[in-house]
Structure 1
Amino acid sequence: MKRVRKRLLLTVCAMVLPLAVTLIIYNIYSMTALNRQAAQSAAGTGYIYEQFYEKSIKTVESYMISEMVGNDFRRLNYPLESLQAYLCGQNILENFTKYLTSDVDGLVALEFYSESNDLVRIKHATGTRYVPTKQSGICRAVYEEMKQGELNSDWYVIPVEDDYFLIRILKYGSMYIGAVMDFDQFMKPSSEVEGRSSYLVYATQDGQALNQKNLLEEKQIELKQNSKGYYITGKGMERYLVVYEQLPYGDLVQYYISPYGSFWNYMGTLQWFLLLCSFIFILLIPILYFYMYRFFVAPLEGLKATMEEIAEGDLNAYAEENSDVEEFRLMATTFNHMMNQIQKLKIDAYEQERRIQNATIQYLQIQIRPHFFLNCLKNFYALAEQKEYHSIQELTLALSSYLRKVITYEEDTISVRKEMESVESYLKLSQLGLSVPVNYNIAVDEKLEEFQILPLSVLTFVENAVKYGVQSQKTLLISIRVSLLPGETPEDTYVCITILDNGPGFPEDLLHFLNKEEFAEEKTAGIGIQNVWKRIKIRYEEKATILYSNSNGACVEMYLPYEKY
């Protein structure tokens, strides 16, 4: 009898103990999984706000760069009369005012400082409602940062009274431009749970809060980092789930703080009963999961992973065809065949597009050359009329040397060095064929001598400068400079090619059309300028630009992307 009881006890223990252990493990796992799921959901929400933060930062930086290449900023790079400096400053402030009304999240002020003219101005956003002392403090703090000379290459934090602000300062020559972002002005969470709101806090890497400091002290919310990526903090029953994200600008951390509700508070009698029943069938779950995963989930996940690789640009990705289910094998085979066809069609379309572009560029290049040859024939005629036979001989030899370099261009691009050789040959040729002297200066950065550009892109503007510059009957000076404008990334690095002369400059009406790139009519500008513009747009699309201006003569600035296209 005792032996039977012992066996019965062992049997009951063998049935109950595993169930009890399983229940404890399940409860722990459920709470952990729910916390992790809640953290993932909160992290997704925090990531959205991080994207808004990054978008605002990029938008402001792009605006600052575009503003710095404007005429007013470039003029203030040099000493001006007080009235001219004041008018340029007012124009910049008007641009600031328009941009500040565009509702960029976080942006509260824009400031510039002209070192050459000792001129500093700031414009605050109308919705900030700072007291005058706070506005003055912001202006003074940014101005002091500008005067230091050694600028930070990224966004960074400065204190103003009892608040912190995120600033970025860029320099161009002797001009500085700064943007001020208020952490409290970035997009804020608006959802509530059980009457409690979510919060967004920005902090340094060591956990120093830059906003919401009073709230953190009142709620006893701690800012920290751990290996899980989330934690629960707060006081008493008022608990909060905190997830954090490293921000791409400013070396800061974004903390998303949301109300935390306990798992057990939401379980009723029915839920408890279902939870108990689930443990009865828990032994069947691994078996069902194994077969479901093997026959259905794994093939679908493999196909999904392949689609994600294709979406990221890898057209060589293929789906596995070794599934145990015939339908999945057939689907994978059909999908791979479809991708082969798409890849072939894409290659054919790309090759066709490249052939069309190359044909267009070659046509435009050929269209430019007769313009120069006609000018040479006119010079021959004029020298022959004056019986300058020796000059005709020299002009013939110079023209022959020039044509060897120019007329044999068959490549899509040539180096800056070769283009400058063609320019020098042309200018020497012009010195022989013209009665008006032509002097020139060419300065090329050594690192850019082999940089590839479009053939005749510089020579066309030099020819234009000679054509109109000699009409003033004075010594024509032409300056050509090729320099590198470094950026934070290779995509932001540009090559600037400047052609400057002391001729009569561009007519104002023509200048308006050139800078707007309006070539709807054939007579809007010369065929050479139009062809250079068309070829650059075909080659670089929207990554390159040409700026035209008058500065004691005509000035042409070409900005080409430095990275290989």
Structure 2
Amino acid sequence: MKKEHRKKTHSAFGRHKLLLCMVVAATALELSVSVWAIHMVRKQTAQNASVMVQNRMEQVENNFFILNQHLKQTLVTQGQGTALSQAQSEDSLTRIQARQTLIDSLIYISGNSGNDYSLFYYFPKSREFLTAVHSRYIAYPQREGLQDAVIQLLDSGYHPSSVSDQWTLLPVGDTYYAIRLYQYQDVWNGSCIPAEALIKPLVGIYPKSVSFPVLFTENGKLAAGAGNLSREGLSPDKALAGRGPFWHKGQRWLVVDSSVSDTGFQLKLFIKDYGQFEKAVLFQTGVLVIIVILLSAVILAMSYTQKKILRPLRLFTERLKSYDPDKPVLIEMSSELEELSAASRQFNNLTKEINRLRIRAYEQELERQKIQMDYMQMQIKPHFFLNSLNLIHSMASHGNCQDVARLSEITASYLRYIFQSDVSCVELGQELNHLRDYLSIMEIRYPDHFQYEIFAEEEALLQAVPPLLLQTFVENSVKHGITADTKMELSISALIECTETSGQREMLTIFITDNGPGYPQTCLDVWAQGKDLARSGGSHIGIANASKRLKLFYHENAVMKLYNSPLGGAVTELHLPCKEEQNEFTAG
């Protein structure tokens, strides 16, 4: 006999140890590379931004230096000549010619500095300004206020030698102006530019939504860029104190500042959403760490499942194979898991519950059949058929053969529909045809006191309903609505609609209305409380049976409303689930 060889088995946890070690090593390497990459990108970004700011400040400083030299040279040159003194001469012609010479000299200077700066002379004796070049950044309405501010500055004892070659940031209302003044003899010349114009070239370095510059005075007051700070919700104090990277409203920012001593103010560049590369790297690393954690959890769960669940469950399955449902045998199983330890008890309880449900289903079926029988017995009323036969006999006695034939055919069709007891549901179209037979008999019996109409959508005619469901409500309307002095009017309508109460499902809606006395208020009060009408004394049997049949056929998914119309008469409103949703109800 050939000897069988068993394959060597390995545990799932042992097979995945190597994989787990490799993933952990790769994660550690990824973390190291990510930290290095973040450091290098942060350093490079800060250096690039710092170089941009420094270049701009050096450009501003160079422009200031050149402009300062030209202003001083022009002032001394004109002073050594006669232009400064003649510009204040009482002779109009001499004064105009001299001032034109001064204007020409400033225009020459503006050829090198462009029209960004406003260049002017000021004569303290006459308190007159002689402006040669107007800055394109200073609007006409702002010039008068700027001139008043310059006069106040000079009256306060300002002297250029006290601040070396630095420019002064002069506040005029809510606007700051960078201004530089020189004096020779009793005449001043100077230059000014709005602080906002100084930072304007830095606005285009990065997209506006990413970065913006801000300018502060030497004393730390905000001179330009207030709108940018307000838009981002940054206070001037926080902006002034900002250094390097910082967090604001859940976003990472980078501040690059440059303090230039020769100009007398400091410029800061704020870069928003700084660290996007860091976020991407950290996100990638975080995903890898999560994968490692999940993989470790899966391996540990596999080992735990094998030892604590699968082995006890296999034993339980083997014992379950020998279980006989007809014998109340307990299947006992012990395990460290409470769920598996209780499995045998749950199984035995389930067996008992199945037996109980069998008995309950049998009782429900008996109840269903009893209700069907009660409904059928209630429908077969001897006096109705006796009256129909008497009417046929009377018509035959008077020789109305056509009416006899028509009434006999309608009555036969009516009885044929009633006795189809093996049908659990019919199409609404069949049910309405049956009601037409009944109502046609009523029309023949009460030709001058009865009128009806039936309307139904084509889609509604194909919906399935329990047989003889509508008969109760129609007979109830006829019974209480026909009188000797009024004409009975009955209306039946059926349509498909979606309502909020049905969760936007399609429902078959049926209305049965009449112009009779309506439902008694006592019955409506009982129905409004959610109770069924009592079946006592032969009254309310039809409505009570209809309510029972709806619950058995549709469970809790059908709605029956009884109420009286404001115009008079009873209204019966039924909302039944449509055909595609009925399988789940009829199967129960």
TM bracket, shorter-chain basis: 0.3 to 0.5
Q: TM-score, normalised by structure 2?
A: 0.40
Pair member with larger Rg: 2
TM-score, length of structure 1 as denominator length: 0.41
